[in-house]
Amino acid sequence: MICINSEQVENQQKRKAIKCVVWDLDNTLWDGVLLEDEQVYLRKSVVEIIKTLDKRGILQSLASKNEYTKAMTKLQETGLQDYFLYPQINWNSKVSSIKQIAKLINISIDTIAFIDDQLFELEEVSFSLPEILCINTADLEQVLDMPVMNPPFITEDSKNRRLMYISGIERQKAEEEFIGSQQDFLATLKMKFTISSAQEEDLQRAEELTVRTHQLNTTGYTYSYDELNQFRQSEQYKLLITDLEDKYGSYGKIGLALVECQANFWTVKLLLMSCRVMSRGVGTILLNYIMNLAKDKKVRLRAEFVSNDRNRMMYIAYKFAGFKEIEKQGDLVIFENDLTRIQPLPEYMQVEIIG
């Protein structure tokens, strides 16, 4: 049976989409125990499951109590080693390993699923991290059919998500080895940030961004494809989407903004950035662009902010950009900016405006 507690059963339809599946190895990914059996064999259909999840944009990792070198050698033999980001193969608790994976990928615990054959391991993880979806290996055949494993759209960014993370690991390694300031390192990346009006072909990714992005998100509002298409076609709204690339490759479409345009003032209804670009200094570029647009149109600029337990950084971004609170309605904060102080673009970033 799938190992979930009663609260998770009640909220199965409400739980967040899974962003990462963490696998055990022995008697889960393969039949047998690597350090005890003469040979171990991949479980039936496991390759199809791993590759299908990858195509859906769901990341995967490993939490296994095992000998690292021997386990990685076996994974290389199977051809699956590149599918797993930040594998935690050690003798630590599974709870500790999963926390480390979440930290390194920079996702919240409640977007992780954990697959293991040992009831003790499943119960320990479920007790210590109740937000995680724990799945018994006996139910492996059900994984691909679970609603939380089936995003409504599979975009190009989804298909390339793992490769983008691998590029990110290369960037991180280069940054750790770089001698100098962070700004000097960012200059070496030759980054290009593009802002454009969202087109119809961008809407699937735009919907995905509203659903998946929680940390660098000012309101947490989610919008469907149809709603976004209405905004895109309306003269009363601006729907802006951004992408970023550097010498290591593309980060994909990583930012979205929805601005309601009224006669005397505009309101930023939604501003978000993928957490993958948190350290790249791009968070304020889109906001500054909107501020300049509003200034050119001689309208006041307001912004909505809804606090949650993860998006305080966006509150700070508004304050840093000169927004001041003018109203508060429960969790909703209304900001306004007099547009007298707009920060210049960072020197290390090439910015291109399309449309």
pLDDT over threshold 80, residue 278: no
Mean pLDDT value of segment 298-302: 96
Both 219 and 316 in one domain: the answer is yes
pLDDT over threshold 60, residue 12: no
Both 216 and 74 in one domain: the answer is no
SS3 274: coil
pLDDT over threshold 90, residue 338: yes
Residue 10 lies in a domain: yes
Residue 173 lies in a domain: no
pLDDT over threshold 90, residue 340: yes
Within 10 angstroms of residue 235's Cβ, the number of other Cβ atoms is: 6
- Domains in the chain, number: 2
Mean pLDDT value of segment 1-27: 69
Single out the residue of 277, 12, 53, 260 nearest to residue 151, CA to CA.
53
Residues 16-31 have pLDDT tens digits of: 889 999 999 999 999 9
Give residue 282's pLDDT: 81
Q: What is the CATH number of the domain that holds 37?
A: 3.40.50.1000
Residue 80 lies in a domain: yes
Residue 159 lies in a domain: no
Angle between helix 225-233 and 203-212 (nearest 10)? 120
Both 342 and 245 in one domain: the answer is yes
The more confident residue out of 1 and 15 is 15
pLDDT tier, 4 (very low <50, low <70, confident <90, very high otherwise): very low
Residues 182-200 have pLDDT tens digits of: 889 999 999 999 999 999 9
Both 340 and 195 in one domain: the answer is yes
Residue 37 lies in a domain: yes
Both 135 and 202 in one domain: the answer is no
Q: What is the DSSP letter of 345?
A: P
Both 136 and 197 in one domain: the answer is no
Q: What is the value of pTM for the model shown?
A: 0.79
Both 246 and 197 in one domain: the answer is yes
- Taking the C-alpha atoms of residue 47 and residue 53, their distance in angstroms, rounded to an integer, is 10
Residue 165 lies in a domain: no
pLDDT over threshold 90, residue 103: yes
| β pairing state of 349-354 and 249-261 | unpaired
Q: What is the CATH number of the domain that holds 289?
A: 3.40.630.30
Tokens 């509150």 locate to 315
pLDDT over threshold 70, residue 9: no
pLDDT over threshold 70, residue 8: no
Q: In what order do the strands lie in the sheet with 300-306?
A: 324-329, 332-337, 300-306, 265-273, 249-261, 237-246, 191-197, 349-354
pLDDT over threshold 50, residue 100: yes
**Averaged pLDDT of the chain:** 91
Both 124 and 185 in one domain: the answer is no
Residues 48-86 have pLDDT tens digits of: 999 999 999 999 999 999 999 999 999 999 999 999 999
Least confident piece of the model among 62-66, 128-132, 215-219, 348-352? 215-219
Both 302 and 197 in one domain: the answer is yes
Residue 169 lies in a domain: no
Beta strand extents in 56-141 (DSSP E only): 59-65, 88-90, 112-116, 133-136
Residues 148-180 have pLDDT tens digits of: 999 988 888 889 999 999 998 999 899 999 999
Single out the residue of 232, 289, 294, 285 nearest to residue 261, CA to CA.
294
Expressed as residue numbers, the domain containing 319 is: 181-354
Q: Are the C-beta atoms of 282 and 349 separated by less than 8 Å? A: yes
- Taking the C-alpha atoms of residue 19 and residue 148, their distance in angstroms, rounded to an integer, is 9
Both 64 and 191 in one domain: the answer is no
Within 10 angstroms of residue 215's Cβ, the number of other Cβ atoms is: 18
Q: Are the C-beta atoms of 126 and 8 separated by less than 8 Å? A: no
Both 97 and 14 in one domain: the answer is yes
Residue 163 lies in a domain: no
Residues 229-243 have pLDDT tens digits of: 999 999 999 999 999
Q: What is the largest CA-CA distance in the chain?
A: 75
Least confident piece of the model among 2-11, 62-71, 193-202, 270-279? 2-11
Give residue 212's pLDDT: 82
pLDDT tier, 261 (very low <50, low <70, confident <90, very high otherwise): very high
Both 348 and 207 in one domain: the answer is yes
Give residue 13's pLDDT: 52
* Residue 85: partners with Cβ closer than 8 Å, 6 or more residues away: 20, 59, 60, 61, 101, 104, 105, 162, 165, 166, 169
Give residue 14's pLDDT: 62
Give residue 11's pLDDT: 47
- Taking the C-alpha atoms of residue 161 and residue 243, their distance in angstroms, rounded to an integer, is 14
